Amino acid sequence: RSVAEGGGGALPLPPAQARALGAELPLLSAMASEPSTLPEAAAEDYLTKKAVVRLPKPASLVKFLPLRAALVAQKSSEIALPQALLVVASASGKVRLLAPSGEQLVAFSAGHERPVSLLAVSPSWQKGDTLIATGDSGGTIRVHQVFVKAKSGPIVAPRKEAMASLENDTQFLGASVASALQVSVAFRRSLQVEGVGAGAITALAMASQQGSKYFVVGDSEGKVNVFGLDGAFKSRLDGTSTPGAGIEGFYVHQNQLLFRAGPEWGYIDLENLVVKHVECPDFEGMHVITAVIDSERSWRVLVADEEGTIWVLAVRSARTCRVDYKFPRGLTRAPLDLASIRGFVLALERSGGRGEGPGERGGDERGTASLLALNMSHVGKQEADLMRHPSPVVWKTTHRGVRSWAVFRHRQDSLPEGDLAALLSEDGLEVEIFELLMHLRIEVAGESVLLDPYIMVPCIVAAVLIGVWWHYLKYGRAMVKPSGDAAAPRTS
């Protein structure tokens, strides 16, 4: 009551808690009551915060850099080596490498003369270099190679920097990741996209196809510029035929490279330098704001339209397309970003903040963002099959405005099994690192009796005995004749 009447200053409460207690609660009638849109569980059951890193200067981009499997397989007596590092880049060209526990391992300057607007990392290559590529508004791409090596000998160095970490490797418990890894960075090459103006490059990716590795750059004119790993220019492809539409983004999954440009989207064959547009009859004419490839089924593409509705499309031979499933309209709203993990799809809703008024979608003056997980097991099922779990939303959580985010999928053949997610705040001064403890579980409606050997083996033996007995009754007695009839003499 004191907080509500404006007298919260007399209470021994932090300002954030005082504002939360004084906030006006919505009416029950205004809250969502549709069972198909309510979360099935709490976010705390699946989302664990590993660290909160406060940066000295604002950053603008984050990406997870996968490490080679050979490095992760090395054994350490005191601490497990991470499978990926978090790359944090700022517009000034400052790049930091953080461990999943939040420790800063190394920081360097990318060497750009103009503001950095794009960031790309090498995929999970089993063989090859671990690379970071940054692009600025002038069309310059600078590539750096990251060397990561496990230190030998006992690990005794404690953590020095101040940070909020929830892991057991703090300065009070155990050793730090920084004391177990030796990380260094070296500049490799610089690429220049010709024929573009200031701020014209809009997308950057590193991809691998047929054993060859490429740098792919999209621009505001709808062109796709392809460079080899050695920096040699390959070709400039036409990504779209829509006037005024530029390349809005790339998505790399294994040996596939997905692009989107306004109403057009499709795949890029880097080996043959061919752009393959996908035409989906039930989806044609809608603007694709984000598109990702399903992490389990590479022929399935998850897209979101301009309203924020998520569609599941089945794409065969990178040409033919059909709609497999459409999540309920209004379940998610634009602007929206997607990420695919095993069995689920993560959606990040942005509201308020840049480009939207404070009153739109309930955002505050700094903007808010909602992170939710959708269950992909709803795809292909009828309503009768979903009576037990009608909502595809597994969990949902709200955060402050998010400028950039990244998701890393752990390899299934290694530990830890949890995936990682990182959220960069709207002001660029704070990074939250989470672990996603979500495992796919297949529920069987009922165990078939055909799989029970205690039932099937006696049934098979009984069936064989019945068959032999039936054969004896029908044919056996007719074939066996009495001995007295065989010895009787013939009479004429």
Nearest to 270 by CA among 328, 310, 225, 231: 225
Please tell me the predicted confidence (pLDDT) of residue 413. Answer: 53
**Is residue 137 helix, strand or coil?**
coil
**Per-residue confidence band for 480, with pLDDT thresholds at 50, 70 and 90:** low
**Is residue 302 helix, strand or coil?**
strand
- The tens digit of pLDDT for each residue in 46-92 reads 888 889 999 999 999 999 999 876 555 555 445 667 889 999 999 99
**Per-residue confidence band for 283, with pLDDT thresholds at 50, 70 and 90:** confident
**Per-residue confidence band for 167, with pLDDT thresholds at 50, 70 and 90:** very low
Spatial separation of the C-alpha atoms in residues 81 and 156, rounded to whole Å: 16
pTM comes to 0.77
**Per-residue confidence band for 19, with pLDDT thresholds at 50, 70 and 90:** low
Contacts for 32 with CB less than 8 Å, ≥ 6 apart: 38
**Is residue 88 helix, strand or coil?**
strand
**Per-residue confidence band for 96, with pLDDT thresholds at 50, 70 and 90:** very high
Spatial separation of the C-alpha atoms in residues 222 and 246, rounded to whole Å: 4
The answer, yes or no, to whether residue 353 has pLDDT greater than 80, is no
